[in-house]
């Protein structure tokens, strides 16, 4: 008996020393972002129960409560000055000629060395609600972006628990009212909780769970828009992380405003740089990347549903955004703006 106890002690000791010698990499945490967990979140977030998540409706209330409870369960605190998760606002929806009351959701991980410098990761929490009695679940638009942020936050929080708190701070910002005209992100950048001068970049995720018809033969892709417009450093970091860890085909065609796009039955010039929430940061000189899979036949239709999501691809794309975020918050130098 005694001998056995001694032997167990030796084995335990040798395990501990082996573990210490394994070199730490961000992949330890990127690997916690999984297709299975993304799917589990999305099956709730883009279910009929959430009523299409229209800003200012009961569907939005369900969505923001879900996001808050997920952050509470992983131990990431609220991002408002008093620690709350909700940023309440009254918005004037000009095209509907009415005011609505709604909320952004903010969660925050404070940096260890430069806490005042903040990376903001965004997705719009709202969608278009119920039309003609049919619920628009918005699994891709933008359920995919919200569940990606939840998984990225969980990966960073796991790093914190293991003693690898990011050097800079990270704000996980789920904005409302995007579908009514980028209103929640505009409200945030007009009333920032963290000064925009110290907001080092915005990574905006809007539709990353599908494959468009231009890529049926090469699904290993993602469109990146804006990465080199305000900061070459941001573009270079993004490219380097992709080459080192992920190897997606990064498609920049929509970074060129003259590229045409076929949408809702006709060709027109793409204006994607202006069409999602990153633009409200870009117009304030915050460097941005907009991550996007392109449109599809189910865009803004009740058929944008969870079973059409490509979860392995969603995992890969989410991991790339995590690695890019990791580098931005942990590198020695802040991203520089172009002259």
Interface contacts to Zn ion, rule CB under 5 A: 141-142, 206
Q: How far is the CB of 296 from Zn ion (least distance, A)?
A: 12
**122/227 with CB nearer Zn ion:** 122
Q: Cα separation of 295 and 299, whole Å?
A: 6
For the chain, the straight-line distance linking the first and the last C-alpha, in angstroms and rounded, comes to 73
**32/295 with CB nearer Zn ion:** 295
**144/169 with CB nearer Zn ion:** 144
Q: How far is the CB of 31 from Zn ion (least distance, A)?
A: 28
CA distances from 253 to 204, 256, 271, 298 (A): 17, 6, 12, 22
**206/233 with CB nearer Zn ion:** 206
Beta partners for residue 251, in sequence order: 223
Q: How far is the CB of 25 from Zn ion (least distance, A)?
A: 33
**142/228 with CB nearer Zn ion:** 142
Q: Where are the alpha helices (DSSP H) in the chain?
A: 2-21, 27-30, 35-45, 58-74, 145-161, 183-190, 232-241, 278-282, 311-330
**142/212 with CB nearer Zn ion:** 142
Q: How far is the CB of 124 from Zn ion (least distance, A)?
A: 6
Give 297's contacts (C-beta < 8 A, 6+ positions apart): 303
Q: Cα separation of 46 and 127, whole Å?
A: 10
**Backbone Cα Rg of the chain:** 21
Both tokens of residue 180? 């009514």
Q: Cα separation of 77 and 159, whole Å?
A: 15
Q: How far is the CB of 118 from Zn ion (least distance, A)?
A: 23
Q: How far is the CB of 207 from Zn ion (least distance, A)?
A: 6
């Amino acid at each position: 008996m005694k001998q056995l106890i001694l032997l167990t002690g030796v084995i335990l000791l040798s395990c501990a020393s082996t573990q210490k010698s394994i070199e730490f990499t961000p992949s330890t945490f990127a690997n916690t972002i999984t297709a299975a967990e993304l799917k589990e979140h999305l099956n709730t977030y883009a279910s009929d129960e959430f009523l299409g998540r229209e800003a200012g409706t009961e569907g939005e209330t369900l969505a923001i409560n879900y996001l808050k409870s997920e952050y509470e369960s992983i131990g990431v605190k609220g991002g408002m000055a008093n620690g709350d998760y909700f940023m309440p606002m009254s918005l004037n929806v000009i095209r509907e000629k009415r005011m609505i009351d709604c909320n952004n959701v903010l969660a925050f991980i404070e940096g260890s060395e430069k806490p005042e410098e903040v990376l903001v990761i965004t997705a719009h929490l709202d969608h278009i609600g119920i039309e003609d009695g049919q619920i628009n679940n918005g699994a891709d638009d933008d359920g995919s972006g919200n569940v990606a942020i939840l998984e990225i936050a969980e990966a960073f929080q796991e790093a914190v628990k293991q003693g690898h708190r990011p050097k800079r701070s990270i704000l996980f910002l789920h904005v409302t009212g995007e579908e009514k005209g980028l209103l929640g992100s505009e409200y945030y950048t007009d009333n920032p909780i963290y000064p925009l001068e110290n907001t080092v970049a915005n990574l905006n995720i809007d539709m990353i769970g599908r494959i468009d018809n231009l890529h049926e033969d090469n699904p290993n892709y993602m469109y990146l828009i804006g990465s080199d417009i305000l900061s070459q450093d941001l573009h270079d970091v993004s490219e380097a992380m992709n080459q080192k860890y992920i190897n997606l085909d990064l498609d920049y065609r929509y970074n060129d405003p003259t590229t045409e796009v076929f949408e809702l039955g006709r060709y027109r010039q793409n204006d994607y740089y202006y069409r999602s929430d990153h633009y409200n940061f870009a117009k304030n000189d915050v460097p941005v990347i907009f991550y996007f899979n392109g449109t599809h036949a189910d865009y803004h239709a009740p058929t944008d549903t969870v079973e059409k999501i490509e979860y392995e691809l969603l995992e890969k794309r989410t991991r790339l955004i995590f690695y890019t975020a990791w580098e931005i918050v942990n590198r020695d130098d802040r991203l520089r703006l172009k002259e």
